[in-house]
Copies of this chain bind each other. A is one copy, B any other.
């Protein structure tokens, strides 16, 4: 079943101990869509400036991503740059130029309103809610957020996630949102806010999925070389929701096996790990579904006992 992704398409400047890119295709929407495209038909609603290059559009189109909802307007595309520490566990943001993204008002082409799967990338919570309200028959909806919205627009955020099936955030965001340091307690509080499924990303340490009555934990994949962690969390999101869309996983009608949610976390982890192997979105030029399924099986091998 098809998936609609709403999120940023951007240019990134990235410096890691392995090298530097002055300006390369990035943005959460880009990573989520590229990752999800390996599993299901994916459409994107986003905004770019008139500097957005045809070759970057082609990167998305080469994976079959539908760009009918990509608005191009006068001005510059969102630009973000950062430098990673030597161990890559910290990064310092150098620039955040929102440019045309500052006035992003997601507009859904009419055909998109009947998409069954919806992932709302990290944008203002009221815009996320506005998109969801335009959808007519969504089966599975959720998304991401960040510390800024948790702190500055908490009420809006709570009103938004109340209508979600799943929330996918990192550990520090889960702690901030819940006010609990312990992640098991944090998860309990967040599940009280609306979503019946919570996924917490822990970077190199893996990910966790919580539901009212169960939880699942997977360690991170152990790469020998992390070239560039940019986008890994978004690729996780794309793998997670993309796999569920592929399986036509319908939470609302209760026709599901919790094992499928666990497998979706593994596919998310697999996609996040591939993302780190090269700069920016470069790994997606050659990545195949066969490699993805092989790494899924590798996860089985190194976690089975």
Contact = CB atoms under 8 A, between A and B. Distances in A.
Nearest to A206: B219
A184 B222 contact: yes
A141 to B, nearest CB: 23
Contacts of A300: 305
A174 to B, nearest CB: 12
Contacts of A303: 216-218, 303
Nearest to A267: B305
B262 A218 contact: no
A148 interface: no
Contacts of A275: none
A62 interface: no
A303 B209 CA distance: 11
A185 B220 CA distance: 15
Tell me which of A215, A220, A222, A259 has the highest count of chain B C-beta atoms within 10 A of its own C-beta: A222
Interface in A200-230: 202, 205-206, 208, 214-220, 222-226
A283 interface: no
A305 B216 contact: yes
Contacts of A185: 224
A152 interface: no
Given A205-B205, A262-B305, A303-B303, A182 B226 contact: yes
Report how many copies the assembly holds.
Answer: 2
Main secondary structure of the interface of A (DSSP, over half): mixed
Question: Contact residue range for chain A?
Answer: 35 or more
Contact of A181 (B87, B184, B206, B265): B87
A304 interface: yes
Contact of A208 (B86, B222, B265, B299): B222
Contact of A304 (B205, B226, B262): B262
A21 interface: no
A266 interface: yes
Contacts of A299: 305
Contacts of A219: 205-206, 208, 217-219
A215 B208 contact: no
Shortest 5 CB-CB distances between A and B: which pairs?
A262-B305, A217-B219, A205-B205, A184-B222, A219-B219
